[in-house]
Amino acid sequence: MSISAGNAKPNPLDLILLWLGRILMGLAVLALVFLFVVFVILAINLIQFPFDYDQGEGFELWNAVLFSQGRWIYTDNEVYPFYSSLYGPVYPLLMTPLVALFGPHIAVGRALTFAVTLICGGVIYSIVYRETHDRLMAVIAALLFFASNFVYQIGALCRQHMTMVMFDLLGVALIARAVEESDNRRAHRYIVLSLLCLMLAGFTKPLALAAVLAVFAFLFLRRPKWAILYGIGFGLVVGLVFWLLNVATGGYWVTNMITANTNPFVTGQAELFYRQWFSLHPVITILGFGYVLYTIYLDRISVYSLYYLAAVAFGALSGKWGAGLSYFVDAIVAACIGTGIGLAVLRRWLQSRPRKRRPDQPCWKSIGLTAYGIVVPILLLVQFRANLHMPLDLPLTRPVAALLNIPSESPNRFRQDYFDTVGYTQLGHLTTDADIEAGYQIVEWVESTPGPAWTEEAMLSLLAGKDEVVTDPLVLYNLYQNGNLDVSEMIRMIDAQEFGIVVYRARFYPIPVLQAIEENYGLVDQIEMNGFVYDILLPRTDVD
C-alpha cells in the first residue's frame, strides 16, 4: 500500500483514493452550491411578492416609512393608531433612504436583507481566507452558512435579524484585525470601527450582546488595559444614546424596547430549539467546538471561539415566549468560521508532518492526508443532507428530490410543494401567482372600505393606500400580557365601528380587543393566501 510508501511514485491505490477524495469534494461543493442557488431562487421569488410572507415584515417597512416622514416609531400604544415598534431603529433607518427612493414596497426591505446576508457570507469567506490562506475552505465556510435552514428562511425577509448578525460579524472581524495590528494608531482605528459595528448591532436587536461580550472578553485576554478603557467608553456612549432615545420619545423607547419585549420564559422551548439547531447542523456544530477546544488548549483563544461560545449560550434566550430559531444564526455563523479555519489548520498540520524515515514504517502524513481528503467531503455531504430544503416543483430541484428520495406528499408539511429538514415550517416555500392574486383580492376589500383599516398585516393597509397602519398586534399582545396596556380607547373606536374593515390572519390581539371586534364586526369573506386563511370582517351594521 503506497500510502505507506513515502516519497515513492504513487501506486494505483493512491491515485484511486486521491481521485475519490477529489470527486467527493467536488460533489460536496456542488451540493452546497445547490443550496445556495435554492436560496437565491427564494430571494428572487420573495422580492417579487408584494405582501407579508412572514408576519411582521410589513411593520418593519412601516417603521421606515414613519422615519421617512420624520416620525418616531416608539409611541403611545394606547392612542390611535395604537402603533409602536419593539425593535431597534437601525434596520428601518437603513431602509429609510431606499423607501424614499423606491416607495414603500416590501421588496426594498427584502432586497436589503438579501444583500446583508450575502455580505455575511462574504465576511465569513474573508475571515477564513485571511486566517488560513485556504481559498477552498473559505468558500466552503461561506457556503455552509448559506446552506443553513435558518439562514435560508430569514435571509431574504424584511426583518432585522440578519442585519444584527452582519454588524456582529463585522465587529468580530474588525477586533481580530485590531489585535494583530502592530501600529497602535491603526489598531485603535479598528477597535473604534468594531465597537461602532457592535453598537449598530445592539441598536438593531439587543441579542447582539453575545457578540459584544465575546469581543470585550477577547480584547481583555489580549489587551486588558484597552478592554477596560474601551469598555467604559462603550458603556457610556451606549448608555447616552439609550437615554437620548428615551428622552426624545417621551419614554416610549423603554416601554416598547424593554417592557414590550419582557416575555415569560417557556420551559422546554429553549431545549427544543437547541435540539433542532444541533440536529440540523451536526457537522459544523461539532467541528466548530473542535476548533474552540483547539484554540483553548493548543493555541491562543480566538475571538471566533469566544463568539461561538457566547452565541451558543445566548441561544438559551430562544426559550423566551415569541423567540425563534433565528436566535441561533450567530452560533451558525461562528460555527462556519470555526469549521473553515479548523479544517484548514488540520490540513496544514497534516502537510507539515515529516515523511517516514524507514521504508518499513507507515507514512502517517500520507495516511492522514488521504483520510482527510475522503472524510472531510463526506462530512460536508452529511451536513448538506441535514440542511436539505428545496421547493419541489422546479426543474432544477425535481431531479435532486428524486435522487434523494424526497416524498412528494407529507402530512408534516405546511406546503406540499416544499421540503425542509426542519419539518413543519411556515417559511421557505415559494409564493405563487395564485398567492399574489389572492393578496390583491384582500387589498380590494380594504380599498373598498372607508376610514382606517384594522389589518393584522401592515402590507394590506399600505397597498390599499391607507394613511396609517393600525397596531402591531405583537406589541399590543405583549404589553397587555405584562399589564402595561390600557385598551379602552381602541375598544371605544371598535365599538363605534370607526374602522372600515378588520382583516385577521392569526387573531393575535389582547382578548378584550378580540371580544369587541367579535361584537361589532361580522365575517364576510375568507381568502387563502400563502397557506394562511385571512378573515375579512365588516361592521355588523353593514353586514346585517
Q: Please, what is the minimum distance in Å from the beta carbon of residue 221 to other proteins? A: 5
301 belongs to the binding site for other proteins (CB under 8 A): yes
Which residue, 223 or 365, has its beta carbon nearer to other proteins? 223
Please give the size of the binding site for other proteins, defined by CB under 8 A.
Answer: 14
Q: Please, what is the minimum distance in Å from the beta carbon of residue 143 to other proteins? A: 32
379: which 3 cell numbers? 462530512
Q: Please, what is the minimum distance in Å from the beta carbon of residue 452 to other proteins? A: 41
Residue in the structure block whose three cell numbers are 448608555: 239
Which residue, 100 or 301, has its beta carbon nearer to other proteins? 301
Which residue, 30 or 272, has its beta carbon nearer to other proteins? 272
Which residue, 222 or 365, has its beta carbon nearer to other proteins? 222
297 belongs to the binding site for other proteins (CB under 8 A): yes
316 belongs to the binding site for other proteins (CB under 8 A): yes
425: which 3 cell numbers? 415550517
Which residue, 222 or 398, has its beta carbon nearer to other proteins? 222
Residues between 197 and 256 that touch other proteins (CB under 8 A)? 220-222, 224-225, 228
Cis, peptide link before residue 92, omega less than 30° from 0:
no
What gap in Å lies between CA 90 and CA 84, rounded to an integer?
15
Q: Which of 19, 243, 265, 424 binds other proteins (CB under 8 A)?
A: 265
Q: Please, what is the minimum distance in Å from the beta carbon of residue 217 to other proteins? A: 10
What gap in Å lies between CA 84 and CA 75, rounded to an integer?
5
Nearest by Cα to 140 from 347, 353, 311: 347
9 belongs to the binding site for other proteins (CB under 8 A): no
Which residue, 49 or 230, has its beta carbon nearer to other proteins? 230
Give how far Cα 244 sits from Cα of 205, 212, 248, 253, 528, Å: 18, 21, 6, 10, 44
Q: Please, what is the minimum distance in Å from the beta carbon of residue 274 to other proteins? A: 11
3-state secondary structure 213-233: HHHHHHHHHHCHHHHHHHHHH
Q: Please, what is the minimum distance in Å from the beta carbon of residue 314 to other proteins? A: 13
One-letter amino acid for residue 498 of the chain? E
Q: Under DSSP, is residue 185 helix (H, G, I), strand (E, B) or coil?
A: helix
* 453-455/501-504 β-pairing: parallel
First-residue to last-residue Cα distance in the chain: 88
Nearest by Cα to 418 from 111, 52, 152, 166: 152
Which residue, 228 or 396, has its beta carbon nearer to other proteins? 228
Which residue, 222 or 353, has its beta carbon nearer to other proteins? 222
Which residue, 182 or 267, has its beta carbon nearer to other proteins? 267
E strands within 365-519?
A: 389-391, 418-420, 453-455, 501-504
Q: Are 365 and 355 in contact (CB under 8 A)?
A: yes
267 belongs to the binding site for other proteins (CB under 8 A): yes
Q: Which of 135, 300, 385, 540 binds other proteins (CB under 8 A)?
A: 300
266 belongs to the binding site for other proteins (CB under 8 A): no
272 belongs to the binding site for other proteins (CB under 8 A): no
456: which 3 cell numbers? 393584522
196 belongs to the binding site for other proteins (CB under 8 A): no
495: which 3 cell numbers? 365599538
Please give the backbone phi and psi of residue 301, each rounded to the nearest 5 degrees, phi first.
-65, 125
440 belongs to the binding site for other proteins (CB under 8 A): no
428: which 3 cell numbers? 421557505
Sign of the C-alpha dihedral computed for residues 206, 423, 321 and 462 taken in this order: positive
182 belongs to the binding site for other proteins (CB under 8 A): no
Which residue, 268 or 395, has its beta carbon nearer to other proteins? 268
Residues between 49 and 78 that touch other proteins (CB under 8 A)? none
Q: Residue numbers of the site for other proteins (CB under 8 A)?
A: 220-222, 224-225, 228, 265, 267, 296-297, 300-301, 313, 316
